[in-house]
Chains A and B, each alone.
Chain A
């Protein structure tokens, strides 16, 4: 759907960056989490502009629908919503900024220097969900399975890590007793 650097792109890009900045600068954690969500949304829009519809909708589903909610839950569970007992910024924030700027500079320089000017806009690829499913089941079946295992492990692990201690002990004893 892209057709050069149009106004849609700029707006979407601005939204994304603004959301990221907001997440960086805001003091209230929940506000940060919500601006994160905005950033995710902007990114999803960018994916859609890049004709990666599946990725865009997956982004919305997973990131906004799960990760951002998870972040908010975490914030609320750790009482980050209220008054902060400590300062927002770390003690070495300037050095970190410099490093981040350096990283940005490096990336930009690399990008600008390397790519040939005047890249042709390619044809819109025909990406169907069916083709994605077929690819998943044929060429990318191994990563798929591994990701499945990974998700299971992460699930169980997250549950155990976040579980209160006495409950964890009780489960361990019950498992051991059987």
Chain B
């Protein structure tokens, strides 16, 4: 990762001036802000690198680097936004791109780049702004944690990755930054790694998103193979520009789909993993094991929004080939998956008891809404809800963090209560967020964004199914949020010790976010559709007559009724009667995550509260509280198959490869044994034999040397005789001796 970042940055620096920049669809030369746009992700990444080198006690430096980097990115993002605002009004979204060669293979080269268009500009501002607020909040929340510097290093790296995803013009570059984001998510969920549950949750998040990423990568490769470029926009030659789209539409893939549809579905699979759509949603609630700022930033506002952003980015691909009055296969799939997710999340959120888990399932549900919005209403509808959701969800999470901090790290809502008197600031800002999420009419941003989605779903030509699911979801959303507020802020105090309000460094971001949670609604009203016009590049007009569109006002009224009914139901069940802890243990209706029992002031044994709905219908409650047993299903099927595969691999390794290795080692031992026995038997034996022979012959020869003098004499004489005889015989025969 670091190597590719370095190569990325150096190739940018080396080639940006050399190649010459590609002007966007504007006629003017690329502006300065676009040329330095790469700084927006680069500054936080460099900051992360610097913080990684710091020592642990240098907290102020770490926080300063992270917040400073993010602030610089924010300024640059605002400048980019202002620039795009300046070029607005041409009827089509203005888009400026900068491309560069990453590496060349012979004559062809792989090009990467970044772009600036309204969609990117809006996301940049949102991410940097919310990110900055959360960074500031974290300095207070993590003040007592000893791994303060590591936290900011990871946060900064995450911010860099996310900003890279936003401005990437190449799907490959997007994927690289996508992976950075996934990595930092893993690091941050498992931040308290010595907790086994946190480590397991991090692993689960990584692996689940990985499943989605595999399909995403397949889509990228296919797209590159078909179009020959990874760039989104490249003056008509980009992968999702009309020329390529026409080619993709003409190319048939399997199952009667076109290549465009298939690639779109594959890319959506990646988005589904990152954004927690069904069935890859299982990691998001477990991701609450991380610190609350992490939950707020990554799992509410930004990272999970990356999936939605990706779909928005490749929207031309997904919507290619749609007939008038219809939709494409990919978008239909997106809509249905999103709708099911929305309903599922809302249902499960009703039965949760952990304050963060309620919000997590709420996020799952809202992400479904965003996907439906993209599919049925287009980029503007989905993205508007994303932007508003980012603000109020971040607000809710930070508020939850404030509550947890004030209740001394208590997270079970059954052990809280009556906090509106002890933590008023948190209460009022939380209330703003809750009303925005529920979609309380008119004053809160959530109403306008959700209403836009409902309206688009209602008028979707393909089916009314998603609309029905979303309606039920909206009702449930209002209900469970009221239930949560009732548990946390109303009733009697059911916890330990005394809760206190959080410090200013934590409450200030809350108030800023609350303002935006209310005010952003202004950007999306039908009368003044600023957001949609900005994204589309069309001119803006304030037109109250837009409210007169047929079906709009009845729909808004219906939605309002739903919200009020949901809030009313929640108030009736949870707020009307102050909830308190029972003084004796309840009998059999228990779905608590941890069944602790302790005593009140008088020493009476406390039991655990049962929810009103739980006592009303325990089976349904059980299904909801166990999240429709999705985790258990996965455990029984995929995980057990995988474990079996792993066991098979281990058996193979130890018995087959191990046997091979043992065979080799045994053969070597055998060779060694042969060597040794050869050596000891033949060579040593031969040697011993030779020595024995020597000894024997010595013995034989020694017999001659028996010390008997007469024998010596005899031998001498005999020898002499023989010599003389020889001499005589030879001499006479040769004539030298004449006898």
Contact = CB atoms under 8 A, between A and B. Distances in A.
A adjacent to B, CB under 8 Å: yes
Given A110-B739, A113-B739, A102 B710 contact: no
Contacts of B257: none
B739 A92 contact: no
A106 interface: yes
Given A96-B710, A114-B737, 14 more contacts: A90-B710, A92-B710, A92-B714, A95-B714, A99-B714, A99-B717, A99-B718, A99-B721, A102-B721, A103-B717, A106-B724, A110-B728, A113-B739, A114-B738
Contact of A92 (B711, B728, B737): B711
Nearest to A95: B714
Contacts of A113: 739
Interface residues of A, number: 11
Contacts of B717: 99, 103
Interface string B515-558: 00000000000000000000000000000000000000000000
15 contacts: A92-B710, A92-B714, A96-B710, A99-B714, A99-B717, A99-B721, A102-B721, A103-B717, A103-B721, A106-B724, A110-B728, A113-B739, A114-B737, A114-B738, A114-B739
A53 to B, nearest CB: 33
Interface of B: 710-711, 714, 717-718, 721, 724-725, 728, 737-739
Given A114-B738, A114-B739, A106 B714 contact: no
Interface string A76-101: 00000000000000101001100100
A106 B739 CA distance: 13
3 cross-chain pairs, A with B, having the tightest CB-CB distances, nearest first: A113-B739, A114-B739, A90-B710
A99 B714 CA distance: 8
Contacts of B724: 106
Nearest to B725: A106
B735 to A, nearest CB: 14
Contacts of B739: 110, 113-114
A72 to B, nearest CB: 22
B712 to A, nearest CB: 12
Nearest to A116: B738
Contacts of A102: 721
B721 A106 contact: yes
A113 B731 CA distance: 14
A126 B738 CA distance: 31
A77 B280 CA distance: 127
Contacts of A90: 710
B478 to A, nearest CB: 133
Contacts of B725: 106
B721 A96 contact: no
Interface string A106-137: 10001001100000000000000000000000
Contacts of B718: 99
A103 B725 CA distance: 10
A59 to B, nearest CB: 25
Contacts of B728: 110
A99 B724 CA distance: 14
A114 B737 CA distance: 9
A116 to B, nearest CB: 10
Contacts of A110: 728, 739
A99 B711 CA distance: 12
Nearest to B724: A106
A110 B714 CA distance: 21
A92 B714 CA distance: 10
A90 B711 CA distance: 10
A172 B725 CA distance: 49
B703 to A, nearest CB: 15
Nearest to B732: A113
Contacts of A106: 721, 724-725
A110 B721 CA distance: 12
A178 to B, nearest CB: 39
B686 to A, nearest CB: 40
Contacts of B711: 92
Contacts of A95: 714
Nearest to B713: A96
A114 B736 CA distance: 13
A13 B625 CA distance: 149
B667 to A, nearest CB: 66
A7 to B, nearest CB: 31
Given A106-B721, A106-B724, A110-B728, A96 B738 contact: no
Contacts of A99: 714, 717-718, 721
A92 B717 CA distance: 14
Nearest to B710: A90
A95 B739 CA distance: 29
A92 B721 CA distance: 18
B731 to A, nearest CB: 11
Nearest to B738: A114
Contacts of A92: 710-711, 714
A108 B42 CA distance: 129
A96 B714 CA distance: 7
Contacts of A96: 710, 714
Nearest to A113: B739
A95 B711 CA distance: 10
Nearest to B728: A110
A149 B398 CA distance: 131
B726 to A, nearest CB: 12
A110 B711 CA distance: 26
B263 to A, nearest CB: 118
A12 to B, nearest CB: 27
Nearest to A99: B717
B719 to A, nearest CB: 11
A75 B662 CA distance: 87
B724 to A, nearest CB: 7
Nearest to B711: A92
A87 to B, nearest CB: 13
A102 B737 CA distance: 21
Nearest to A110: B728
A113 B737 CA distance: 11
A158 B721 CA distance: 32
Nearest to A93: B710
A89 to B, nearest CB: 10
A96 B712 CA distance: 11
B613 to A, nearest CB: 129
A176 B711 CA distance: 41
A84 B739 CA distance: 47
A103 B713 CA distance: 13
A114 to B, nearest CB: 4
Nearest to A96: B714
A113 B728 CA distance: 11
Contacts of B737: 114
A110 to B, nearest CB: 7
A92 B715 CA distance: 12
Contacts of B738: 114
A92 B724 CA distance: 23
Nearest to A105: B721
A50 to B, nearest CB: 24
A99 to B, nearest CB: 5
A69 B738 CA distance: 43
A96 B717 CA distance: 10
Nearest to B718: A99
A109 to B, nearest CB: 9
A136 B739 CA distance: 34
A92 B710 CA distance: 9
Nearest to A112: B739
Nearest to A102: B721
A90 B737 CA distance: 38
Contacts of A114: 737-739
B391 to A, nearest CB: 123
A104 B717 CA distance: 12
A113 B739 CA distance: 6
A113 B729 CA distance: 13
Interface in A34-78: none
A162 B738 CA distance: 48
A24 to B, nearest CB: 14
A103 B728 CA distance: 14
B1 to A, nearest CB: 97
